[in-house]
Amino acid sequence: MRPLSGRTLKTDAAMRWAGNWFNDRNRTLFTLLIIGALVFPAVADVTTGGEGNHLINTAADAGVFVLLALGLNVVVGFAGLLDLGYAAFFAIGAYTYGMFASGQLLASPLHHEFHIPFWVMLFVGVGVAACFGVILGAPTLRLRGDYLAIVTLGFGEIVPLVVQYLGAGSPIGNWTSGVNGIGAIDPPKLPYFLTGPWVGAPIGLVKNFDFTGSVAYPMDFYALMLVLVAICVVLATNLYNSRLGRAWMAVREDEVAAAASGVNTVAVKLLAFAIGASFAGFAGCYYGAKLSLVSADNFHFIVSVTILIMVVLGGMGNIPGVIVGALLIYVTQFFVLTNLPDWTQALANAVGLSGLNQSHGDWVGLRNEVQRLNYLIFGLILVIVMVLRPQGLFPSRIREQELEKGTEEQAVFDLREDET
Amino acid sequence: MAPTGKAPSHPPDAVVLQLDHVTKRFGGLTAVNDVSLQIRQGEIFALIGPNGAGKTTLFNTVTGMYKPTSGTIVFQGKDITGLKPYRVAGLGIGRTFQQIRLFSYMSAIDNVKVGEHHRMRAKLWDSLLKTPRARREEREVQAQSMELLKFVGIEAQAYNYARNLPYGHQRRLEIARALATNPRLLLLDEPAAGANPQEKRELMALVERVREQGITILLIEHDMKVVMGISDRILVLDYGEKIAEGKPQEVRTNRRVIEAYLGKSA
């Protein structure tokens, strides 16, 4: 018997490893996402002939929604608490950064500008948002399901209004510049020795990567976004596999049994709320720094709903699924739908139906008509996806089974009966 | 093989659970009326009675799901009246439910691990960063949970969803989850309900083995034959009131008990 050569063994092992790796859909998704994220700037640059900055910028914006979807997934997907006011925590994070990293507070009763570095404010933003998560959660988490959803909805409405109200002329001074929003927010900066030798050097993939100047380039934000998303993915995955993740699932499945098994259900739900909120605070800081402007208009109900759609459509409870969901919805909303009128116009011209593009009588022209129907189309896409895949595009295994076999409605069961 | 690892901290004859004049009313309905009882270390104490006699209500009152209208509940010398369910579980009272309440979409072993939750020391920080401490604890819990699944005899099902387990195994899993909380007292609410005679015998054998670990057992059971065979003492409830208490033979011959049972069916 001749022993197998070492080489064959090694290739075999490698093949088996690769086979196992790609057997798991989540790992495949993660691998593809990582590769995609790394080559995206280069691809964007090449395909647009060196003018990829706009695309990279858009991708850096999309990262905000990935962070938000990851955070809402903790609340909705892991712990099963429906939160319809998630944008409020996003606003709190963004305003925290905006107030303490711009000239805003000069106009406030403090009469002093703060320019705290972005890297510090990331942690502050997380902390402040988490505190608000606890403040909202503590009195409301006794409520269940629909009732909790309505309270969070209210909170989501209150926060932008309060922010608008605390502008010039409010009785306690101008803290937020009201409807004008806070502008000229500091971009993130790194000291020279950390930024590295490639500062400002036009070297290939990381062209214009420069955190030292007062101007931040799209590529800076893209790189920063990747780091933040990576951190959040790791933290969320760890949580999911931890003692706390199990407790969340238990509470989601059966709160009474969880309590009888020694899980402090109120504390566990509160933690879900606080951690979800802190992800939003994280995203908010980045958002403020990226846009250099925060305004209450950016945090309305529609934002909360959009994030919820991302989570549900991507696959509740499954981290890579949620990321894909966030990216797809973002691309659909801000790329496909915004370009659709132009595309249909071009298509009509190309196939010789340019007559459709002229407006006459009641007909406003194909382009404008499509423009008008934008949200109808968006709605249709959502309806079709949810009908075809009610469990989301890439659901967690659990969710998949739940929807396959169907779950019977469970009666609301109160831990303590109300009795006075 | 001991799931608890600890020797009973109480002398054999010590009172584990004591109820003093416990009453529970829902509006005008008195579900449990002035019930007092003492359960001693290491015994199997059965609670029987016709449907609606208040047995499960009494369980829920002991485990903190209901607050008693009046009366006190003392567990191992500590007043636990009105404590929250998770605190009661943390102090050492495990329970199962009449209608199985497992975490359907979690694996069997994860169900057991939830029971270990309150004994784990990993902080939020450890969970977030997966610190060595958290990993070590996770490994220990994995091993302990597997032990418990072996103890109840369903280790082969460890990685199946709880909802996919056969009925008898679900009952066993509930017991394993309750044992994972490291109880001194285990409350079993009709563990053999819906089981066939063979399964019933096996489940009762399991209850015996749990008792051998030094865990005191409070049992609700409908099947008189089962109860008489296994219990050290029996308390009979009817319309929320205690009508008899004593050894199986005494209870069997008690006139009021016979009335309560036969009177219902006649």
pLDDT tens-digit profile of A311-348? 999 888 889 999 999 999 999 988 888 888 888 888 88
| Mean pLDDT, all residues of chain B | 88
Tell me chain A's radius of gyration from C-alpha atoms: 24
Chain B window 61-90: which residues touch A at a Cβ cutoff of 8 Å? 63, 65-67, 84-86, 89-90
Q: What is the pLDDT of residue A30?
A: 86
Summarize pLDDT for B153-195 with one digit per residue, the tens.
998 989 888 998 998 899 999 999 999 999 999 999 998 888 8
**B117 at A interface, C-beta within 8 A:** yes
Is the confidence at residue A4, as pLDDT, over 70? Answer: no
Architecture of domain B15-101+162-221+233-265: 3-Layer(aba) Sandwich (3.40)
Boundaries of every domain in chain A: 49-313
Q: Do A417 and B66 touch (CB under 8 A)?
A: yes
Mean pLDDT across chain A, nearest whole number?
81
Banded model confidence at residue B28, pLDDT cuts 50, 70, 90: confident
CA distance A147 to A407: 21
Kindly list the domain boundaries of chain B, sorted by start residue: 15-101+162-221+233-265
What DSSP line would sit under B74-122, residue for residue?
A: EETTEE-TT--HHHHHHHTEEE--SS----TTSBHHHHHHHHHGGG---
| pLDDT score for A190 | 65
pLDDT at res. A389: 85
Instruction: Give the range among A214-218, A248-252, B253-257 with minimum mean pLDDT.
Output: A214-218
For residue B84, pLDDT over 80 is answered with yes
Chain B: residue nearest A257 by CA? B101
Of the candidates B86, B94, B105, which has its C-beta nearest A253's C-beta? B105
Mutation target to probe the A interface, by most A beta carbons within 10 A, among B114, B123, B125, B171 is B114
d(CA A279, CA A315): 18
Per-residue model confidence as pLDDT tens digits over B49-60: 888 888 999 999
Q: Tell me the average pLDDT across A197-213.
A: 47
Q: Do the strands A101-102 and B93-95 form a parallel or antiparallel pair, or are they unpaired?
A: unpaired
Question: CB distance from B228 to chain A under 8 Å?
Answer: no
- A:B CB pairs within 8 Å: 117
* A41 pLDDT more than 50: yes
With an 8 Å Cβ cutoff, are B114 and A256 in contact?
Answer: no
Q: Do B122 and A401 touch (CB under 8 A)?
A: no
More confident residue, B58 or A397: B58
Torsion of CA B148, B153, B158, B162, to 10 degrees: -100
User: Model pTM greater than 0.90?
Assistant: no
B12 — pLDDT class (breaks 50, 70, 90): low
CA nearest to A252 within chain B: B103
Best CA proximity match to A262, nearest among B91, B145, B105: B91
- What per-residue confidence (pLDDT) applies to A94? 94
Q: A85-116 burial, b if ≥16 CB within 10 A, otherwise e? A: bbbbbbbbbbbbbbbbbbebbebbeeeeeeee
Position B16 confidence tier, pLDDT thresholds 50, 70, 90: very high
**pLDDT surpassing 80 at residue A354:** no
Q: Which of A134, A142, A233, A243 to mutate to test the interface with B (most CBs of B within 10 A)?
A: A243
Band of residue B96 on the pLDDT scale cut at 50, 70, 90: very high
**b/e per residue B48-70 (b: at least 16 CB within 10 A):** bbbeebbbbbbbbbbbbbbebbe
| pLDDT, tens digit, 9 for 90 and up, residues A130-182 | 999 999 888 887 777 788 889 899 999 999 999 988 887 778 888 888 888 88
Report how far residue A106's alpha carbon sits from residue A25's, in angstroms, rounded to the nearest whole number: 52
